[in-house]
Structures are given as C-alpha cells and as structure tokens.
Amino acid sequence: MSDIKEKQAANLGHSSFVMYLKPGCEKKYREQHDNIWPALIMLLKGYGISNYHIALHPQSYQLFASFDYDQRYDSKALANEPIMQQWWLQMRELMLTNSDASIPIIRTDAIPVRAVDSIDLAPLTTNLQAVFYMP
C-alpha cells in the first residue's frame, strides 16, 4: 500500500469549522499558537488529530480551522481534558466562546453552533460543509 493510501486508511474523518477572533487580538492569537504548549500538542495527537490548520480572514476576524482525525477522536472527552480546558481559558480573552453567544457575529449568514454542549470555555464555532476535495 502506498504512503498516501495508508494515511487515507488511517484517517477516518475530517473536521472543518469557523471560530471567531475578537477584533484587535490577531497578534496575541498568533503568539499563543507560536508558543502552543507541548502537552496540548501531545493531547491532540493522542486523540487522533493531525494536519490541524487555522487560517485568519483579517477583515472579518474569522478563523477557518480544519483537521484530520482517526478512530481515537472523541470531541466530548477531549473537551473535558484539563489541558484543553486550560488552553480555552487562556484563549478566552482573544476569541468568542460559547458563553459569549449573545455577542453579535460579523457574518450574519452563518448560524453558530456549540462546539461542546457542556463547556462554556469552548470556542464558539460554526461547522463548515465540505464542497470540494482533491487528494
């Protein structure tokens, strides 16, 4: 089996979503991710997450994120991990979170959904629909 086919077989899914940065927080957000905790990276990888990308649309403060995952991925269990919650607590000043759902969002055509029902620290997200893929 080729390396590409092995990678595709190992990955069970892909997740894409939008998060919302607070205006004026772009630099700090980038700095936080430039110095992401090694323990958080290990945690995400332990939950089967790979190829995690986040891109900023600077005019709208939207963060477009995507990652691949394998059979170990469990979003609710990950959300309850202390390291994940500590990261979200640190990022809370920079991003809209589920507890901020009353704050107006720049894009009005997207309906925000909760990333994790029971965790108010989780970033406010809108799931994206896949429309194109080229392996």
Active site residues: 33
Q: How far is CA 70 from the centre of its chain?
A: 16
DSSP strands (E only) in the chain: 13-20, 49-57, 62-69, 125-127
Distance in angstroms (rounded) separating the CA atoms of residues 126 and 128 = 6
